[in-house]
Amino acid sequence: MRLRLGARGSALSLAQAGLVARAMAGRSEVEIVTIRTTGDRLSAAGSPIEWKGDFTKELDAALLDGRIDFAVHSLKDVPSAVPEGLALAAVPMREDPSDVLVAEPRRGFFELPSGARLGTSSPRRRAQLLAARPDLQISEARGNVDTRLRRLREGHWDGIVLARAGLARLDRLAEACDVFAAEVLLPAVGQGALALFARADDGRTREALGAIDHTDSHREALAERSLLATLEAGCHAPVAGRARVVGESMTLEAGVFSPDGSRVLRETFSGAPADAESLGRRAAERLLARGAADLLGRSSP
């Protein structure tokens, strides 16, 4: 069985596609098809990403018109609303979703001097970093991983914050000098997970991808995406969530933050992994009841 796998042209996306192709070895022959997205063009130009779908819409179109059989995304880049006709077919085993610090010179987050400059373009990271260290200066850091690491070496910042999973998949994890605990920096929804999308009516491809689906990782993804969808939060919202399945129980840590880190709302819910989406909704509803809508800049329900 031969399958065409759509991926973005970035080094990280191609590394992720390679991981998927190797996982499918012996089951299906996978051809990687590179598709340049709006997000890639904006990122290369140093422009802000206004919508998560800028990284996915061209791949969605290629799926729907049959140019590819499935697509790989970083789950955190996937909008909560999936285009009609597509389905989340598989979530392979998730990488550690933690954020990490890369600093010059090497040192830990709480060892950074007062006034140190940290680079990140994520409102989620900015809010939590300022909540933990209001003495820091947080500035925009756009571009792919290579670009941000190069600019760090050039002295634009004293440190940058990246996803541990991305560095691991690029075989650059040794460059990280501190791993953030979730109590300090709760990860983005879906961080560390890959999402494999196929056409909803393509049973042949979905069955093939089922062989590399990791049940616990998939359920964690469903819980976190349900949280995000219920909050109606977009890519610029300071929202975080991390679900973990341990045995027969799932725990979901969720947070919503003011942009300057002065207000922090956190909730932790536990339940059965099979009730993942319900768990996400309950956590979001509790956050909304506590005033999350105000922090997200929209009217209360």
How many angstroms separate the CA atoms of 4 and 9, rounded? 15
CB of 194 within 8 A of CB of 88?
Answer: no
Contact 279, 245 (CB under 8 A): no
CB 241 within 8 A of CB 224: yes
Which residue among 54, 77, 178, 216 is the active-site one? Answer: 77
The sign one gets for the Cα dihedral 71, 72, 77, 80 is positive
The CA radius of gyration of the chain, in Å to the nearest whole number, is 19
**Coil, strand or helix: which one is 54?**
helix
Residues contacting 220, CB < 8 A, separation 6+: 94, 193, 243, 244, 245, 250, 276
Q: Are 72 and 9 in contact (CB under 8 A)?
A: no
40 is an active site residue = no
CA distance 14 to 167: 13
Tokens of 263: 């207000």
Question: Which parts of the chain fold into alpha helices (H)?
Answer: 11-24, 38-44, 57-64, 123-132, 145-153, 164-169, 203-209, 215-231, 276-289, 292-295
Burial of residue 138, with CB atoms counted within 10 A of its CB: 0-12 exposed, 13-18 middle, 19 or more buried: buried
Q: How many CB atoms lie under 10 A from the CB of residue 18? A: 16
Q: Which residues are catalytic?
A: 77
